[in-house]
Structure 1
Amino acid sequence: MQYWSGVCIAQSLKVPREPRPGEFDKIVLRLLETSNARAVIMFANEDDIRRILDAAKRNNLTGHFLWVGSDSWGSKISPVVQQERVAEGAITILPKRASVDAFDRYFKSRSLSNNRRNVWFAEFWEENFSCKLGMHGKRPGSPKKCTGLEKVSRDSTYEQEGKVQFVMDAVYAMAHALHHMHRELCTGYPGLCPRMANIDGKELLAHVRAVNFNGSAGTPVIFNENGDAPGRYDIFQYQINNRSTAEYKVIGHWTNQLHLYMEALQWTSGDSSLPASVCSLPCRTGERKKVVKGVPCCWHCERCEGYHFQASEFTCELCPYEKRPDRNRTGCQPIPIIKLEWHSPWALVPIFISVLGIIATTFVIVTFVRYNDTPIVRASGREMSYVLLTGIFLCYIITFPMIAAPDVAVCSFRRIFLGLGMCFSNAALLTKTNRIHRIFEQGKKAVTAPRFISPASQLVITFSLISVQLLGVLMWFIVDPPHTFVDYGEQRTQDPENARGVLKCDISDLSLICSLGYSILLMVTCTVYAIKTRGVPETFNEAKPIGFTMYTTCIIWLAFIPIFFGTAQSAERMYIQTATLTVSLSLSACVSLGMLYMPKVYIIILHPEQNVPKRKRSFKAIVTVATMTSKLSQLAAERPNGEVKTELCEGVEASDTALISCVCSELKAKKLRVQAEMNTEDDTARLNFYTGFDFRFCLIGYEVAADEYSLSHPEVNQQMQHNVCPTSVW
C-alpha cells in the first residue's frame, strides 16, 4: 500500500506464473475488498489480461472495474475477444511510434527461401497463412499445405509491429555507443584495439546513455540519468459505439506532459462523466480521517464527538472549557450563559410565597403598631416581637436577591441577608425560651428573680447573638470580596448543543453551609430549650407555641438538606437549589408567623372583647409559685393532700408570708364556702381536683380554675371575688 507517481495504490496483487484453477477469481474478489477503488492497473501479458477479464465477467462485475492496461495490452484485440462489455472503458497505452517504410519493404520481400537464417520465420509463416509446411511444419492439423509461394501482405493481412521502430533505434543506440567508445579509446586505430578488448559493462552503459541521434522515425533518441528514453505515448480507450461496434480510440498522448481529449472519453453505457475510483470516500464536515495502518490512501471517517472540533483533516481537538463546537464542528463558539429568570416556574413559586408572606408580615406589623398598648401586644413582649417580625420579613425578602441576575451588588445582598433573617428569628426565639427556662429553674432554688430578664436585657442578648452572624459576614467580605463567575461545569451535558454556562455569585456550598450553619445552631439550641420548657403552664408564657414552631422548622430544614445537596449533580441544579433554599426560608417564616402571631392578630381584629387585662401578677408571685411547685413535687409522694398544703404554706420564707398565707388561707376558705353551696357529687369532685392533690395547679392556675367553674356557677364566682387577696398580689 503506497503512493506511486501520485497515484494511491490500495492493493498490490501478483499474478502467478502458473495459476491454478480459480486463481483469477480470487484475484478479482480480493480487488473487491476495496470496493470504492475501482481502477485496476494491470501489468500482465495478454493471456493473463484475458483471464482476469473473464473472471470479472463470471463474478457479475461487468461495469464495476475501470481497467488501465500497460503497453502489453495496448490496442490488441486478443485480450478483449468475446469480453467487450467487461473491457468497455478500458484505458491502454502504447509508445508513440511511426511506421518504418524501409522495414515494410524488407519484410514484405521475405520468403521461406530467402529468410532461412530466422529460425522462427517458418512458425510465423504457418500462423500468418494458416497452412502446413509438411514435415517441417509447426502446425499439425492445418487445413492446407503451404506452397512456399505465399506472399506477405498479398495473401494475408499485414500490419507493422508497433515496436519495430524501437528495436531499430535500440540497435542504432548500441552502434553509436560503440562508435563513440572506439573513437575515444582507439583513436586512429582501425578495428578493435587492445583497450576495448576487456571493457566492462558499466563503461559501455555510460556511452549508451550519452548517445544523441535521430532515430528511424526521425525523432531524437536520448536517455536520461536513469537510462530511460523520453516517454512518448499514445493513450487509447476501448469504446463501444452506438452500432455496438468495439474499437480502440485515441483519447490523448503523453510527451513530457499529458494531453487528454476529455470530450473523446466515453464510459459504460455512453456516460461521459468521470467515474470515481478511491479507496475511501471523502469525510464529511466535522469528521476526521483515521488512516488504516499501512494504507495511506484508505481511511475510516470518525466524527468529532463531544466537545471536540475538526482541527485538521486527520485530527479532532478539544474546545476550550468555555466553548463548544459549532454546528459543523469546524471550530468553537462560546457556550451560552444563562441565569434564573423571573418568569421561570422555578422562580414564580418562591416569589408567590414570598409576596404573600411579605403582605402577611406587613399586616401583622401594622396591627401590632396600631394596637401597641393593648394587653395582648404588651403580653407578647413588644420589643422581642418586633425583632422576630423583622427576621420573618428578611426571610421573605431574601427570595428576590436570590433570583435576581447576579452582579456585585446582588452577590453582596445575598451574603448579608442569606442567613440574617433566620438569625434574627432564631435569636429572638432562643432568647425568649432561655428566659422562660431560667425563670422556672431559678424558682426551684430561691424566691429571687434571675438576672437579665428585662426587655432591655433581652434585646442586648438578641443583638449579641445576631452580631456573631454579622461579624462572620464581615470577615467573609474581607477574605473573599463578592464577585460573579460563570460555572460551565454545572450544565456541561454530553450533548454540547445543550451545554450552558450558569452566571453565579461566588457562594459555594461550603460558604452556604457556613452562612446558614450559625442560624441552624441557634434553631437547634432554641428547640432544646423549647423541649425543656414544654411543661411550663401556658398561662405565663409562649413555650408551647414556640416549641411547635421549632419542631416544624426543624422538619423543614431536615427535608431541605437532602433535596439541596442531593441534586448537586443534576443539570437543573441551579433551579432546584435556588427554589429549595428560598422556599425553605419562606416556609420557616410562615411557621413562625402563623403559630406565634396569627392567633394574636385574630383576637385583636375579630375578638377585641378578649383583648382585656387579666388579674395582674407580680413577678415575685410567679417565682414563688415555681418554688412551691418544686417543693410540692418532693412532698406529694409522702403526704396526704391537706398535709402537703399545710407544710408547704408553713415552709415559705418570711418575706413571702403575706402572699403565701393569703393564697393558702383564701383557698381553704373558698373551698369551704364553695363546698357549702355544692349540690352534686360531681361539683365536689371538681373542686377537689382544683384544690386537692395538685396544689401546684391551684396556685398557678387559680384564676383559670375559678373562671372555668364560674361558667356554670356564677354565684360562686361572685362570692369568690369578694374574699380574695388584694389585687396587687396578682
Structure 2
Amino acid sequence: MRWPGGMNTIPQSMCSEPCRRGERKKVRSGRPCCWQCEACEGYQVQADEFTCKDCLFGWRPTANHTTCEQVPIVKLEWHSAWAAVPVFIAIVGIIATLLIIVTFVRFNDTPIVRASGRELSYLLLSGIFFCYTVTFMMIGAPSPALCFFQRLFLGMGMCISYAALLTKTNRIYRIFEQGKQSVAAPRFISPSSQLVIAFSLIAMQLLGVAVWFIVIPPHTTVDYGEHRSWPPEKARAVLTCDVSDLSLMCSLGYSILLMVTCTVYAIKSRGVPENFNEAKPIGFTMYTTCIIWLAFIPIFFGTSKSPDKLYIQTTTLTISMSLSATVALGMLFFPKVYIILLHPEQNVQKRKRSFKAVVTAATMSQKLSQKASERPNGQAKTELCENTEINTSPVKKTTYINYSNHTS
C-alpha cells in the first residue's frame, strides 16, 4: 500500500499521543478517545492518568511531579555569610568588654574609675557583655535549652544596659535640679540606692519573661511559612525557636522604653557642663542608639515575607544589638581606658568643691552662654566668676562633697 508523500510506514491511527509521566489527560469534549496532555504544575503531582492532586502541607513534588517529598528543614549555619559578620562583631565586642572589665578591676581604686560610678559601670558592662553573647544564642542550633536562654537574654542585655544608663542620667538630672533650689543633696543618689533602682527596673523585665515562660514554655518549631515558595525545588522549612515577631517586640519593647526614657533625661541634662559628669557622652550614646533601632524596625518587619527572612532578621537583630553595645563601649568606656593606660598622669583626684558651688557654676554657665553673643568679650566670664564667688562664700554650716561621687 502506497501512502501520500512517499511514506512507507503506516500512520498511527490514534487521535492523541500517550502522555508523559507527570502529565494528565484532558479529554476533548465529544471525542472520548482524544485528549490533551497537561503537566501537573506547582505543588501538584499526578494522581492518575486523568487528575493531579496537591501535596500535603510540608511536602513538595519531585522534579517529574510523580510523587511528593518532605520539604527539607534548614537552620542558620555558622559557616554562612549571614552568620559570619555578626559573630565576628560579637567576638571583637566580647574581647573588648572583657579587657575593659579587667582594666577597671585592676585600677578599681583610682579616681577616674571611682568617679565613673563603679557599681553602675560594672552593671552596664555586664549588660553590654550579654548583648554580644545573644548573637551566639540566636545563631546556634535551636533546642529547648537554647530557646530558654534565648528568651531570657534576648532583652536582658539591653534591659541591664539601659537600666544602668537611665539610673545614671536620672541621678545627674536630679542632682542639678535639686542644686538650683537647695544646698542639700537629693535623695537616693548613693551607690547602694542606685543599684536598688537599677535592679528594680531589671526585675520588671525578669517578671515579664517569667510570665512568658509560664504561658508558652520554650520549645522549637518548624516554620513552613516558605514551603509554597517558587519554584518548588527551593521550598524549605525553618527550624527555629517558637518566638513570633510580636513576642520578640514585646520582649524588646521594655528595653526600648528604657532607652527612650534615658534619651529624654539625656536631653534634659544636655546643658550640664561636661567637666562635671557623663551627661554629654550618655546623650551621644543614646542619640546614636535610637538611630540604630529606628533603622532596625523597618528592615526587620519589611523582610517578613522574604524567602531569606530567617537570615535577614537574625542578622539584623544581632548586629543592631552588637552596634548598640559597641556605641556604649566607645562613648563611655574607651576614653576612660585610654586615660588609665596611656595617660595615668590625668588619673588624679579632682579638688573638692561644695555641692552648691558646683551646681551654681553649672547653672550660671548655662545662663550666660545663652547671652554670650550679645555681650562684650570677657563680660560673661567676669559675671560668672563674680556669681560663683558670691554663692560659694563660706557660711557657718557648709556641706562639702566630692562632686565626682555625686555627678558621675
- TM-score after normalising by structure 1: 0.51
What do the CA deviations read for 1:195-251 (whole angstroms, capped 9, x no partner)? xxxxxxxxxxxxxxxxxxxxxxxxxxxxxxxxxxxxxxxxxxxxxxxxxxxxxxxxx
Once the two structures are overlaid, the 10-residue window that deviates more, 337-346 or 479-488, is 479-488
Q: 2:311 aligns with which of 565, 575, 600?
A: 575
Change (3 A) 1:358 1:300: same
Alignment of 1:18-417 (within 5 A): 62=4, 269=8, 276-417=12-153
Q: For 1:596 and 1:355, how far apart are their aligned partners in 2?
A: 20
Unaligned runs of 5+ in 1: 1-52, 64-84, 86-267, 642-681, 702-725
Change (3 A) 1:608 1:426: same
Q: 1:476 aligns with which of 183, 195, 212?
A: 212
Question: Is contact 2:266-2:280 (8 Å) kept?
Answer: yes
For residue 328 of structure 1, report the CA deviation from its aligned partner.
2.2
For residue 531 of structure 1, report the CA deviation from its aligned partner.
0.3
- TM-score after normalising by structure 2: 0.90
Question: Is contact 2:354-2:399 (8 Å) kept?
Answer: no
SS at 2:288 equivalent: helix
SS at 2:331 equivalent: helix
For residue 62 of structure 1, report the CA deviation from its aligned partner.
1.2
For residue 445 of structure 1, report the CA deviation from its aligned partner.
2.4
For residue 699 of structure 1, report the CA deviation from its aligned partner.
8.2
Match of 1:521 in 2: 257
Change (3 A) 1:729 1:427: closer
Change (3 A) 1:521 1:699: farther
What do the CA deviations read for 1:439-479 (whole angstroms, capped 9, x no partner)? 11112222222111111010000010011111101100000
Match of 1:10 in 2: none
Q: For 1:325 and 1:633, how far apart are their aligned partners in 2?
A: 75
SS at 2:224 equivalent: strand
SS at 2:225 equivalent: strand
Q: For 2:391 and 2:341, how far apart are their aligned partners in 1?
A: 29
Q: For 1:449 and 1:389, how far apart are their aligned partners in 2?
A: 27
Name which one, 1 or 2, has greater alpha-carbon Rg. Answer: 1
Please state if 1:533 is matched with 2:269: yes
Please state if 1:553 is matched with 2:244: no
Q: For 1:468 and 1:350, how far apart are their aligned partners in 2?
A: 28
Question: Is contact 2:364-2:384 (8 Å) kept?
Answer: no
What do the CA deviations read for 1:69-114 (whole angstroms, capped 9, x no partner)? xxxxxxxxxxxxxxxx8xxxxxxxxxxxxxxxxxxxxxxxxxxxxx
For residue 276 of structure 1, report the CA deviation from its aligned partner.
2.7
SS at 1:504 equivalent: strand
Question: Is contact 2:357-2:388 (8 Å) kept?
Answer: no
Query: Sequence identity, in percent?
Result: 67
Question: Is contact 1:449-1:623 (8 Å) kept?
Answer: no
Q: Which amino acid aligns with 2:169?
A: T
For residue 385 of structure 1, report the CA deviation from its aligned partner.
0.1
Q: For 2:81 and 2:115, how far apart are their aligned partners in 1?
A: 42
What do the CA deviations read for 1:124-143 (whole angstroms, capped 9, x no partner)? xxxxxxxxxxxxxxxxxxxx
Q: For 1:344 and 1:415, how far apart are their aligned partners in 2?
A: 23
Q: For 2:197 and 2:94, how far apart are their aligned partners in 1?
A: 27
Match of 2:405 in 1: none
Higher relative contact order (CA 8 A, sep 6+): 2
Q: 2:247 aligns with which of 503, 511, 516?
A: 511
Change (3 A) 1:500 1:695: farther
Q: For 2:87 and 2:389, how far apart are their aligned partners in 1?
A: 50
For residue 435 of structure 1, report the CA deviation from its aligned partner.
0.6
SS at 1:296 equivalent: strand
SS at 2:45 equivalent: strand
Q: Which amino acid aligns with 1:290?
A: K
Q: For 1:295 and 1:560, how far apart are their aligned partners in 2?
A: 62
Change (3 A) 1:696 1:402: farther
Change (3 A) 1:301 1:607: same
Question: Is contact 2:132-2:325 (8 Å) kept?
Answer: yes
For residue 689 of structure 1, report the CA deviation from its aligned partner.
4.9
For residue 485 of structure 1, report the CA deviation from its aligned partner.
1.1
Match of 1:691 in 2: 382
Question: Is contact 2:355-2:399 (8 Å) kept?
Answer: no
Change (3 A) 1:695 1:293: farther
What do the CA deviations read for 1:504-563 (whole angstroms, capped 9, x no partner)? 111111001101100000000000000000001112210000000000000000110111
Match of 1:497 in 2: 233
Match of 1:418 in 2: 154
SS at 2:4 equivalent: coil
SS at 1:489 equivalent: coil
SS at 1:300 equivalent: strand
Q: Which amino acid aligns with 2:381?
A: Y
Question: Is contact 2:361-2:384 (8 Å) kept?
Answer: no
| Length, aligned pairs only | 393
Alignment of 1:602-621 (within 5 A): 602-619=338-355, 621=357
What do the CA deviations read for 1:635-663 (whole angstroms, capped 9, x no partner)? x99xxx9xxxxxxxxxxxxxxxxxxxxxx
Q: 2:195 aligns with which of 455, 459, 462?
A: 459
Q: For 2:223 and 2:11, how far apart are their aligned partners in 1?
A: 53
Unaligned runs of 5+ in 2: 393-397, 403-408
Q: Which amino acid aligns with 1:690?
A: K
Q: For 1:699 and 1:355, how far apart are their aligned partners in 2?
A: 54
Structure 1 stretches of 4+ with a deviation exceeding 6 A read: 697-701, 726-730
For residue 700 of structure 1, report the CA deviation from its aligned partner.
9.9
For residue 405 of structure 1, report the CA deviation from its aligned partner.
0.9
SS at 1:415 equivalent: helix
Q: Which amino acid aligns with 2:39?
A: R
What do the CA deviations read for 1:229-283 (whole angstroms, capped 9, x no partner)? xxxxxxxxxxxxxxxxxxxxxxxxxxxxxxxxxxxxxxx63x6xx7532111111
For residue 620 of structure 1, report the CA deviation from its aligned partner.
5.1
Q: For 2:329 and 2:71, how far apart are their aligned partners in 1?
A: 44
Q: Which amino acid aligns with 2:186?
A: P
Q: For 1:699 and 1:369, how far apart are their aligned partners in 2?
A: 41
Question: Is contact 1:625-1:700 (8 Å) kept?
Answer: no
